[in-house]
Chains A and B, each alone.
Chain A
C-alpha cells in the first residue's frame, strides 16, 4: 500500500465519520436517512478500494452486494417513516 492509497482510504473514512455524526445529530428523520445512505455509499467505495489495495477482486462482489442492499434499506426505511408499515 503506497501513501496515495492510504490517504484516499483515510479521507473516505473521515467522510464516513462525518456522515455518522449527521446521522446521530440530524434534526429531522430525512437527514438521518440521507446520512445513513451516504455512509453506505462510503462503505461501498471503501470496499472497492480495499479490493484494489489488496489485489483481491472478490471485494468487488461484496461492494456490489452492499450497494444493492443499501438501496433496499433506504427504500424500506423511507416507507416505514412515511406510513409506519413496510407494506400496504
Chain B
C-alpha cells in the first residue's frame, strides 16, 4: 500500500484542504461549531494522514520534532499569558477587558481569539506527539 498511486495522489490533494479547514474551524469557532480543540485535532489529523501516506521521515522533515515541542509549550504560554495579564492588571484571571479597557467588546473578541489559538496549538502538537510516541513504542 505504501506505493499506491491513487492513495498518494488523493492524500496529497486532501492534505492542504484539511489544513485550511482546520484553520477555518479555528477562526470560525466563535460563531459556529468548532473552536480551538477541534481545529487542533483537524490539523493533527492532516499531519497524521501525511505520515500514513508518505512515511514518517518526510513528515518529520515537513514538521520537525523541535517545532512540535515548541508549539506545545507556546500554546500553553499563550493561554496562561492572557489569563495572567488580567491578574497583573489587578482584575480577575482571564479578564479580557484589560486588553483594551476603553472598548470591552473588541477586547473580548481579541482575548478569545488568542486563547483559542493557544488551545489549538497545544492540542495539535500534543496529539501529534501522542501518535508519534505510541507508534514508536508499539513497533
**What is A's interface to B at a CB cutoff of 8 Å?**
58-59, 61-62, 64-65, 68-69, 71-72, 75-76, 78-79, 82-83, 85-88
Name the prevailing secondary structure of the B interface residues: helix
CB of A76, distance to nearest CB on chain B (Å): 6
Task: Give the CA-CA distance A79 to B56 in the complex, in Å.
Answer: 13
* CB neighbours of B42 from chain A (8 A): 65, 68
CB-CB under 8 A for A72 and B48, given A79-B1, A85-B139: yes
- B:22-69 near A, CB below 8 Å: 25, 28, 32-34, 38, 42, 45, 48-49, 51-53, 55-56
Known pairs A65-B38, A78-B1 / 19 extra A-B pairs, C-beta < 8 Å: A59-B33, A61-B25, A61-B32, A61-B33, A61-B34, A65-B25, A65-B42, A68-B14, A68-B17, A68-B18, A68-B21, A68-B45, A71-B14, A71-B49, A72-B49, A75-B49, A87-B51, A88-B2, A88-B56
CB of B40, distance to nearest CB on chain A (Å): 13
* CB neighbours of B14 from chain A (8 A): 68, 71
Q: Is the CB of A72 within 8 A of B45?
A: yes
**What is B's interface to A at a CB cutoff of 8 Å?**
1-2, 7, 11, 14, 17-18, 21, 25, 28, 32-34, 38, 42, 45, 48-49, 51-53, 55-56, 131, 135, 138-139
Residue of A nearest to B33 (CB): A58
* CB neighbours of A83 from chain B (8 A): 1
